[in-house]
Amino acid sequence: MAQSGKGRLNYRCPSCFMRDLDIDMFYDKEKDEFYCIRCQYTGNEKDVLEKNEMARFRYRDMCKRYELDDFEKFDD
Amino acid sequence: MDKMILNLIHRPEMVPEYAEKITGRGKAEDIGRKSLLTESLDIFKTQQRLAHENGLKTTIQMTYSSLFNEEAVRLAKEHHKQYGDEIALTLLGLPCKEFREKYKTKDFCIWMFSLEDKKTIVRDVFEKFHECFGFYPESTGSYFMDAELINYIKETYPTVKCAVATCWEEGPKAYHTCNNSWYTFLDGGPWAPWIPSKANSHAPAANAAEDSGIVAIPHLSRDLIACYDGNGSNFGTHPQNVLRGMIYRDGEYPYLYNLIDQFRYQAKFNNGYSYNMMFVGPGWMNKMGRWEAPYELLYKAYSDGCAYYGQLKKEGKLADMTMSEFADYYRMKKNYTEPECALWRDILYGSKKQVFWYCDPYIRACVNMDEGGAVVDLRPYVAKIDWPVGIGTKHVQNASYPFLIQEKYRAGYFTHYAGEGTVRSAKMVHNGEQVDLCLCRTKAHFTQEGKCRILTLDPVEIEFSDLTVKLQTVITFEEGSSRIRFDRRIIEMSDPNAEVSIDEYMVACYGTTEYPEDMTPLTLELAKDDVKTKLAFAYKCREQSMDGADYTACILPPIDTRVSLTCQGREKTGYFKEGYAFSPMFTLGYTGKLKNGEVFTTWLNLEKAD
């Protein structure tokens, strides 16, 4: 088995990201999977992208644009 | 409202942090690699182009390595002449072949070197700069600049009047985010420009005698809720940091613009003044992409960031300044004791949470309206704590300014089953029932009357089984007083003749990290007239009270601080509580009585212990 490397992009572990940890994952080309050396997450690129989207659950206002007058409005 | 001031800074970092590890995948380390140097300079050129295309001038902070690169020096001279960019000098970007050969170390954070090495390096880079440009710089900086470093630079190179001197709330949280491998422990500083004191660079100078001679600016303008709660490096005026936080969808990131605009909004609380700083190191725009963000998105984000600032400038809402221009502006605009205030709301998570940050030469505090106006962070700037950092000191890496209260590192209101966390709040008590104001979510309104900045909180309703109490909190920060006043007024009761008890309290300790410190040097005090009682902290869970006490206090020699509560209220009784091993805190408080229409007033006072 050859050593692992990096994939096309340098994906972080989505599971660690959700606990505020930025950890590079490594890529096992024989299994076509990324894996985390900090936790037990493994997944292919599709799964990583899905989990990254899941990580955004907390950003409820991520797509909202505030106007200057909005910063002290709380009744919406 | 004045125009928001922008400092846009670029550095030609010939060996960018991160880039060597990323571009050099699978190769042995070689920081002199030609491809790395070429790419680094290309990124700097791109950043400069994007700024200039949007009508913005920059401060070019030359790195040590770039001073050995003829093209980088030539570009700086050209851009100074053509666009009015300032040529400055950063103490970031030290790593390069020349530095490593000369200093025989891979250390690169200037504040972590020994004082002797700091001086040698400063002389080396400043003289090299002079050799390249024929003058000494007016601006410098690093992620952090300690007091001894600033004092030495100002003494040796008096032309320097501005410096990047801290990353706001970059401490244990950043360390953890980097899997405990990023040693920037810089918590506890100001989030907006300030004049550092000679004694401690985090703490603003109170007068000319304390003035270090420079104006300090923070490294980025950071989200005052998100950064305090989570990884600071995701939530600042750094477009690629926003990508790092994955705060975008379909290549759009309105959060970045909301963040900039909320800083513009702060003019309302600061006599018309507001400020932003953007400083993206070239490692964040390397061609290999940064984590899951491809180069195209990194480029777009920086381009969009510059475009938004450029648009604000065109609309007359923003003034771009170089760092040295800003230093002159700041000294004209502000006096020593004028505080920096920020009434800040959550703009990302949809919680509607609101906090208020206050910073002056005596106090830095955070009031959390989601906890009824509790003080959830408190730094005793009045102490101007002597805290040398770097090799050869007690604090090789830890440059954080100590806290008395820090709700994330010391629990705050909620603890697990036992013990207490640090917070300054109040409890209402009636017939054996008790309600802490930390559970009464509310919002605040800011007013300024003379030298007082006043937070008036929307009244909250406290429901006991047989009584409902409507209570209003007013928190007053009097400029230069080194104290915070809390007024609790009952404005309505379901039984107008009822009486309730109030317990104004502060649970505190000291520290810079999540981990407890030795509390045995602390002394608790209660006093009334000539009667004074003292207790040496010994983790014995002891309590004392005194009817009509003049004050209740704690002296904390490790951080050279004396904190006390004083009170004006009916049937007041002062008390203190010693903590115990599982709860290494102390509590200061006052109890008293309140009827409809009455006010109970307490002051939290901070002094230098000696």
* Contact predicate A54/B247, CB 8 Å: no
Where does a domain end: B345, B370, B387?
B345
- Residue B59 in any domain: the answer is yes
Cβ count near B540 (within 10 Å): 11
Residue B447: give its domain's CATH number: 2.70.98.10
Phi, psi of B163 (to 5 degrees): -150, 140
* Contact predicate B198/B153, CB 8 Å: no
The residue segments making up the domain with residue B412 are 362-608
Q: Which of B25, B255, B293 sits opposite A62 (nearest CB)?
A: B255
Task: Say yes or no for a CB contact (<8 Å) between A65 and B354.
Answer: no
Give residue limits of the domains in chain A.
14-70
Where does a domain end: B281, B311, B345?
B345
**Structure tokens, B496:** 């107008």
If chain B, 610 residues long, is cut into consecutive pieces of 10 residues, what is the mean pLDDT of each piece?
93 71 55 70 95 98 95 97 98 91 95 98 98 98 98 98 97 96 96 98 98 98 96 92 97 98 98 97 88 94 98 98 98 97 98 98 98 98 98 98 97 91 98 98 98 98 98 97 98 98 98 98 98 98 98 98 98 98 98 98 96
Task: Say yes or no for a CB contact (<8 Å) between A66 and B347.
Answer: yes
Residue B328 sits in the same domain as residue B373: no
Residue B122: give its domain's CATH number: 3.20.20.510
Q: Which residues of A touch B (CB under 8 A)?
A: 5-6, 9-12, 17, 20-24, 38, 48, 52, 55-56, 58-68, 71-72, 74
State the residue for tokens 């709660």: B229
Residue B367 sits in the same domain as residue B340: no
CA distance A73 to chain B (A): 9
Q: Which pLDDT score, from 0 to 100, does residue B23 have?
A: 43
Where does a domain end: B283, B312, B345?
B345
- Residue B257 in any domain: the answer is yes
Instruction: Quote the strand ranges of B21-152, DSSP E.
Output: 59-62, 86-89, 139-141
Question: Per-residue DSSP letters for B343-390?
Answer: EEE-SSSS---EEEEEE-SS-EEEEEGGGTTEEEEEE-GGG-----BS
CA distance B445 to chain A (A): 9
State the residue for tokens 């040398």: B388
Q: Is B254 on the interface with A (CB under 8 A)?
A: yes
Instruction: For residue A76, give every residue at least 6 positions away whose Cβ sits within 8 Å of its Cβ, in sequence order, or none.
Output: none
In sign, the C-alpha dihedral spanning B9, B15, B16, B19 is: positive
Task: Say yes or no for a CB contact (<8 Å) between B258 and A66.
Answer: yes
- Residue B350 in any domain: the answer is no
Question: Which ipTM score applies to this complex?
Answer: 0.96
* Contact predicate B133/B86, CB 8 Å: no
Q: Which pLDDT score, from 0 to 100, does residue A76 have?
A: 65
- Chain B interface disruption, residue of A22, A58, A74, most B CBs within 10 A: A22
Phi, psi of A32 (to 5 degrees): 50, 50
DSSP label at residue B305: H
State the residue for tokens 């939290």: B604
Instruction: For residue B134, give every residue at least 6 positions away whose Cβ sits within 8 Å of its Cβ, in sequence order, or none.
Output: none
Residue B287 sits in the same domain as residue B432: no
Residue B395 sits in the same domain as residue B308: no
Whole-number Å distance between alpha carbons of A58 and B239: 19
Residue B153 sits in the same domain as residue B222: yes
Minimum CA–CA partner of B289 in chain A? A9
* Contact predicate B375/B423, CB 8 Å: yes
CA nearest B281: which of B7, B11, B86, B41? Answer: B11
Q: Which of B176, B177, B289 sits opposite A9 (nearest CB)?
A: B289
**Structure tokens, B39:** 């790419």
Q: Which pLDDT score, from 0 to 100, does residue B134 have?
A: 98
**Structure tokens, B466:** 């047989």
Residue B339 sits in the same domain as residue B486: no
Residue B303 sits in the same domain as residue B226: yes
Residue B429 sits in the same domain as residue B311: no
Exposed e or buried b for every residue in B321-354, given b needs 16+ CB within 10 A?
A: bbbbbbbebbeebbebbbbbbbbbbbbbbeebbb
What DSSP element (H or E) covers B164? strand B162-166
Residue B597, SS3?
coil
Task: Give B424's strand partners.
Answer: B375, B506
Residues of chain B with Cβ-Cβ distance to A21 below 8 Å are 176-177, 179
Give pTM, 2 decimals: 0.96
Contacts 24+ apart (CB under 8 A), B540-546: B540/B578, B540/B580, B541/B577, B541/B578, B541/B579, B541/B580, B542/B577, B542/B578, B543/B575, B543/B576, B543/B577, B543/B578, B544/B575, B544/B576, B545/B573, B545/B574, B545/B575, B545/B591, B546/B573, B546/B574, B546/B575
Q: Where are the alpha helices (DSSP H) in B410-549?
A: none
**Structure tokens, B495:** 């039984």
Residues of chain B with Cβ-Cβ distance to A61 below 8 Å are 255, 258, 346-350
Residue B231 sits in the same domain as residue B373: no
Q: Is B177 on the interface with A (CB under 8 A)?
A: yes
Residue B591 sits in the same domain as residue B496: yes
* Contact predicate B55/B294, CB 8 Å: no
**Structure tokens, A19:** 């606990």
Q: Which pLDDT score, from 0 to 100, does residue B2 have?
A: 84
The residue count for chain B = 610
CA nearest B442: which of B429, B423, B455, B428? Answer: B455
- Chain B interface disruption, residue of A57, A63, A65, A71, most B CBs within 10 A: A71
Residue B301 sits in the same domain as residue B369: no
Task: Say yes or no for a CB contact (<8 Å) between B258 and A64.
Answer: yes
CA distance A33 to chain B (A): 15
Pairing outcome for strands B583-595 and B573-580: antiparallel
